[in-house]
Chain A
Amino acid sequence: MTGKPLESVVESLLFISEVPLTIDRLCAILEEHERRDVQGAVERLREVYAREGRGIYLAEVAGGYQFRSRPENADYIRRLARGKTFRFSRSALETLAMIAYRQPITRTEVEYLRGVDSGGVLKTLLEKKMIRILGKKDIPGKPLIYGTTREFLEVFNLPDLASLPTLRDIHELAEQYADVEQAELPLEGPADEIGTE
């Protein structure tokens, strides 16, 4: 293999792999090469695919790298996949968001946040491998705690959990509330007059 340009080898490996390849994994495979050379090869490949505007690009995802088709071409690929659209229900997304940002989190905590029974959604997310059971929480009842999976990062095209969109406080609403928290909430607001009648 020595003598072959490293870039070409890395390209082949990335092309063949079904899961994102991490630099660690690549280095383990390419043990005769220096880590920084491998890293450099990956970087150059990323540039090449980005520059030439090919149908695929090298995505940095779930801690590794993977060739993916360009989003602009999604419609055509869907034709190939016979129009099978892929979507999460709102409740699944909501639950997933809570788990992603708050992990490790128990079912009770999810249900308190959502205000609804979430057993079914959790089961679906577990089945779809978007979340996994991390263990049990050391509190009475030893409830299971959940976290997101590598597949979650893969599906949402995220390099790592730190790349999740930052959780926004609901701007003015949150600000208002922060003020009120220090002061005292008015017990009877004027807006309530209709109701009190």
Chain B
Amino acid sequence: MRHQPGECHLQATDVQERLFADSQQSAYTVRIESFEGPLDLLLYLIKKNEVDICNIPIASVTRQYLEYIELLKELNLDIAGDFLVMASTLVQIKSRMLLPPVAGEDEDEPEEEDPRAELVRRLLEYQRYKDAAERLAECEMLGRELFARKFISPEIADLKTDDAVPEVELFDLIQAFRSLLAKVPEDTFHEVGAEGLTIADRINEILDLLRGKESMIFERLFIAPLTREYIIVTFLAILELCKLKMVKLLQANSFGVIWIVPTLLESDISEEELLDRQAP
């Protein structure tokens, strides 16, 4: 059970293999998928050490767990916070186990539960779903073993819906901005004074306009009377919304119409909208 010198290297190759298997995915996914999570890593360590899941040698498992995290660091992988949370949980369990059981002081707790019990429950529960996931993967799957008419695998469907309308290139956006500016009548007098139009106001107005709509033509956001200030503030508001990932700008073809599409954030979806969206 003691840590072997060669073991570290072995794990490193293991991690690298997993890395390359997932290399087409984003860095974020790689980080998570090297192990599905702290529970996955713990199960792996328990299996590797051939110990009883109900009687986990916390100290040695914790040590190996931390070694693995070190290894991830060496491979320049960001450690997900979840892994660190588990590390501190393990250390906490160990320290609680070192303390002599407090007898008699807690009136309501005649006998203290094993500090590991909660973790064991979670591991067993996790293992059930891990097993279920494996068996789901064994199902004959549409798009893998089975095909039906007109069936488009989710990946391809994704490409069709999302990527068929590519997001607007910066150049096209600037082009649209310039053509809008060109619409501003040249001969308007410049009024000096506080206009009081802020980007925050425009953001709210734009969000109001977009509420309940699937999409809108970009130009529609610029409602007359057009002034330079109005256009610039609106444009900046749209850029800000893009940055906040609250809207997407899509354009089917170069020089085509630019569409502004609200992206729904989970927390922002109101109940009615939800029901609407989910209605078959």
Point out residues on A near B: beta carbons under 8 Å: 15-18, 59, 66-71, 74, 77, 81, 84-91, 93-94, 96-98, 100-101, 112-117, 119-120, 123, 127-130, 132-136, 144, 151, 154-158, 164-165, 167-170, 173-174, 176-177, 180, 184-189, 191-192, 194-197
Contact = CB atoms under 8 A, between A and B. Distances in A.
B54 A194 contact: no
A167 B126 contact: no
B57 A191 contact: yes
A114 B57 contact: no
Given A84-B155, A168-B128, A155 B142 contact: yes
Contacts, number: 220
A112 to B, nearest CB: 8
B147 interface: yes
A155 B38 contact: no
B49 to A, nearest CB: 9
B122 A115 contact: yes
A128 B157 CA distance: 8
Given A115-B86, A185-B116, A189-B55, A71 B140 contact: yes
Given A189-B55, A195-B60, A155 B39 contact: no
Contacts of A18: 148-151
B35 to A, nearest CB: 9
A74 B146 CA distance: 6
Nearest to B1: A194
B174 interface: no
Interface string B47-89: 0000111110111111100000000000000001110001000
Given A114-B36, A187-B114, 7 more contacts: A67-B149, A89-B22, A91-B36, A93-B133, A136-B274, A187-B101, A189-B52
Given A114-B126, A155-B154, A173-B124, A196 B146 contact: no
B274 A133 contact: yes
B129 A155 contact: no
B142 A68 contact: yes
Given A18-B150, A157-B140, A185 B133 contact: no
Contact of B156 (A84, A101, A164): A84
B256 interface: no
Given A74-B147, A77-B147, A185 B57 contact: no
Contacts of A144: 266, 269, 274
B265 to A, nearest CB: 10
B57 A194 contact: yes
B146 A69 contact: yes
Nearest to B142: A155
Contact of B127 (A101, A119, A173): A173
Interface in B12-42: 22, 25, 28-29, 32-33, 36-40
Per CB-CB distance, the 8 closest pairs between chain A and chain B, nearest first, are: A195-B59, A185-B114, A116-B37, A128-B154, A71-B145, A86-B143, A115-B39, A189-B55
Contacts of A93: 133-134, 136-137
A94 B149 contact: no
A170 B54 contact: no
A86 B153 contact: yes
Nearest to B112: A187
B183 interface: no
B80 A113 contact: no
Among B81, B98, B120, B121, the one with the most A-chain Cβ atoms within 10 Å of its Cβ is B120
B278 A134 contact: yes
Contacts of B114: 184-187
7 contacts: A86-B153, A90-B36, A114-B37, A120-B29, A129-B157, A157-B139, A176-B54
B2 interface: yes
Nearest to B161: A127
B158 A128 contact: yes
B147 A97 contact: no
A27 to B, nearest CB: 19
